[in-house]
Amino acid sequence: MRGLKAVAVLGLAVCVSGCVTRGPENGEPAPPPVALEFAPVSFVSPIQLERGPYGNLFAADSYAVWVGDYAASLKRAHAEESGEKIDPILAEASGRLNENFLIFECHLASAFADMSIGYDAVGLRNADVYLLTADGRTVRPVQTILAGPVEESYQGAIRKFERVNLVVFPRKDLATGMPAVDAMDPSVRLVIKAVRTTFYFEWASGLGTVPPAAPTVEDRLRAVKMGFNEVYRKILEGAHRFD
């Protein structure tokens, strides 16, 4: 029950605007605005450099996963095939979380010459992170979660750091009740600004793509690298801070 309570707490702000809206004439609740929500054509995106002096701050093998219903289903199927028991609380919570939030799983790697800066970068320390829509709107996260320990390896004399971060955004705009990212947008970016340099992950809209593009084997492996139970447990643990 504690896990479901956390979902309810996270979703409270999403419900507020719909609870107070009234029609202009009879005082009855106004019907919610109708709009399609953005669905990416592919759920995995590699990191890209937009501008800045430190384009090698993040390694080229950094990537992000859009953890919607499809990626979640891949994670769950992989867990079950591997003999892992799905936590029933997390199974129920996952549907509510995906319904109310946009969840991104950022796999960040850095082999930067200044290793202390690289270490901070993969944990998004002192970084500005947000969604950027095609019309220039920004959406701020409600949670940024360190999802695991830093992994270290060596590239010559330089240590390479790798870490997974979960970044959670509201699915709907709190003021209007409309989707934070509209289906008519041609693409959306998850932006990371760190050390005076701007990077981004970009997802193109899947609207009108029939049938949807089949994920590659590599993308499937990336989608299941972080397990179903692990993703949703981390989000619920972060939500408990608001209890």
User: In terms of pTM, does the model score above 0.75?
Assistant: yes
- Residue-wise pLDDT for 190-241, tens only, equals 999 999 999 999 999 987 665 556 789 999 999 999 999 999 999 999 765 5
d(CA 239, CA 243): 7
Q: Which of 16-30, 70-84, 155-169 has the lowest mean pLDDT?
A: 16-30
Average pLDDT value for residue range 78-90: 96
User: 31 pLDDT exceeds 80?
Assistant: no
More confidently predicted of 231 and 21:
231
- Residue-wise pLDDT for 130-157, tens only, equals 999 999 999 999 999 999 899 999 998 9
Percent of the chain with pLDDT over 90: 72
Q: Cα separations (Å) of 130 from 27, 104, 185?
A: 36, 11, 16
User: 100 pLDDT exceeds 90?
Assistant: yes
Q: What is the model's pLDDT at position 17?
A: 34
Q: What is the model's pLDDT at position 243?
A: 40
Q: What is the model's pLDDT at position 213?
A: 64
Band the pLDDT of 83: cuts 50, 70, 90.
Answer: very high
Q: What is the model's pLDDT at position 3?
A: 45
Phi and psi based region of residue 223 (left: phi greater than 0; alpha: psi -120 to 50; beta: remaining): alpha
At a CB cut-off of 8 Å and minimum separation 6, what does 92 contact?
4
